[in-house]
Structure 1
């Protein structure tokens, strides 16, 4: 099966998605692909994802899975509607907005995705919509900017725009409870979503699986299904599952497992538990990936860049990158570095923020891995907490960062 590569504009992308879903055109890949072989039969869309490991993968999504996801979303939200595209369509959340507009048969309204997200821009984009019902997908960072603009002219216009939507899907990262409470108190109909590229995006809304979606929690090593209330690894089943990872049959077999009855399940890397009524609570990732502004950041990749960029004259020894809770970004990336003995790194008390090093660190990481991975704080310490023989205690580092990092920002 062929594919259409490249970053088309949103309206051209919508037309290409419509053709792919109907079987009239090739599978759509919004970003260039590394995989060069034939695509699995029925593939309509290929998206890149960092997954829970932060490593790039290419996920094949079938037309049937995508349509099942879109229809289940509209069923849950109360019917078809016009969508506002406020997220990049190179990732599943934004691409799903395009897809849902195709399935609903409604015109797509697109924000200026090249401009910084702002309350004034959001209000202007919402004003261009003419649908009787309206939906939008946002990440917590965007919602934070809208809610915290209250009291300004732009902020009040943005809140009025928020209230005009019949549903505001919120995903990409866990939303702070205070943000949800503030948005809902302002009259916004926020629906929290959980899902990933491998499930065609959000498949659990406000803790409740969409129609056809099954969720269970299993013990990590044995795979034994756990009873309600017990925490374990989240697995998802149903018609929304991806076909697999392109060019990696072993990883596909590891992630997508079959029960003896033939049912297929995706083993996520998230920890969660089910209530007696079947609603899901996600407790966090089973690994160390930081989710900042809805983007997965792999600490190891950031650490590797900083180890090279801040060595030598900076006198930096070890580097540990963690995430700490942040009201705007969900998590903020923090670099904690040790003094390596050079005068450049020795002044200041334990846990002292270093603005000059932070500027250099942000530039190095942003140019190598992209702006979302750039640390928002940098702390210099004498030594890193340890757990066992020489192993860094990331939980202790995170606690140190949470206590100290908010004293300075960038």
Structure 2
């Protein structure tokens, strides 16, 4: 497979790259694709990309184009994507996930259809089309569920951007589309591992893609992969099942030490997510006796009766020391552009 092929199939039309780079579309999103192609085909051997900022200030990093291409090839191989297969780009090209959709189409000779990456995305533009492969963030999938028949138009759906709620997983069990979630980050040029999320016997383990090595460093996932000069030590607390499988427990920088005990917020959240029907997260506040006390922050207007319901959930499903000492109500959480909740009180 060539990293810089001479042609691309865009919305069903075959374009010569040389001619396309001197062209301009009237369609806004196609112009964004064109701008990306100009960057991909320029003289530099790297792309400048930006992290999402979900765990801190967004940062600018450089990724070698050959490294990005290897990521695209792994995805093409895993999902058995073949030349002329129709795929849909409905993610922002500001971030690596959107860029990789274009690179996969280029390298694999795929038919790349494009649509605006709105959170209220629907198949209005392509209502008569079907797709072999589509990547979305959960907010888009929720919208898709408003018209479940849309799933019949998608063979494989890749989700990313944030963890899936138990309610979304339950809804996806009802569709025939093969649904996967990826584990990865900007530094790895998207996913290095995948798991199927809509099988009734699906577990919580990610399976690494070909050529990826994993282990733990101080409880956090470490990754070695072709193209990285040195291993990447993540901030994700993990459990290694075997050399090819792992599960993510939470982030090291979210750990709460309360009363001398260590708590992983994401582990507590997992125990609660089936019983709380609003977006929420576990955090902490400074406390004279405990050092830090565990608190729950929920996205809804303050409601004393609802508060009592949640406290009852704490009693029934959490151990004594895991139970949040306070509940904070917020009308609206701050989120990144990719939809991740910014976990701040």
Give the TM-score of the pair, scaled to structure 2.
0.63
Tell me the distance in 2 between the aligned counterparts of 1:146 and 1:280.
29
Deviations 1:147-190 (A, max 9, x none): 3x2xxxxx2xxx22223222111111111234223213222211
Deviations 1:283-339 (A, max 9, x none): 1111239xxxxxxxxxxxxxxxxxxxxxxxxxxxxxxxx997778999547999xxx
What stretches of structure 1 of length at least 5 have no aligned partner?
Answer: 1-7, 28-41, 150-154, 220-231, 242-262, 290-321, 337-383
Residue 215 of structure 1 aligns to a residue whose secondary structure is strand
| Matching residue within 235, 257, 276 for 1:269 | 235
Confirm or deny: 8 A CA contact 2:236 2:249 kept in the other structure. yes
| Matching residue within 29, 50, 56 for 1:54 | 56
Shift of 1:82: 2.6
| Residue aligning to 1:386 | 287
Residue 108 of structure 1 aligns to a residue whose secondary structure is strand
| Residue aligning to 1:25 | 42
Counterparts in 2 of 1:267 and 1:392: CA distance versus 1, 3 Å: same
Tell me the distance in 1 between the aligned counterparts of 2:247 and 2:281.
24
The worse-fitting range, judged by mean Cα deviation, of 397-406 and 270-279 is 397-406
What stretches of structure 2 of length at least 5 have no aligned partner?
Answer: 1-26, 196-205, 256-264, 299-306, 312-325, 333-345
| Matching residue within 388, 397, 403 for 2:295 | 397
Residue 242 of structure 2 aligns to a residue whose secondary structure is coil
Corresponding position: 1:279 with 2:245: yes
Counterparts in 2 of 1:61 and 1:387: CA distance versus 1, 3 Å: farther
| Residue aligning to 1:225 | none
| Residue aligning to 1:90 | 94
Tell me the distance in 1 between the aligned counterparts of 2:191 and 2:53.
14
| Residue aligning to 2:222 | 235
- Aligned pairs, how many? 257
Shift of 1:199: 0.4
Residue 71 of structure 1 aligns to a residue whose secondary structure is helix
Give the TM-score of the pair, scaled to structure 1.
0.54
Corresponding position: 1:11 with 2:10: no
Confirm or deny: 8 A CA contact 1:218 1:234 kept in the other structure. yes
Counterparts in 2 of 1:214 and 1:83: CA distance versus 1, 3 Å: same
Residue 275 of structure 1 aligns to a residue whose secondary structure is strand
Alpha-carbon RMSD = 3.7
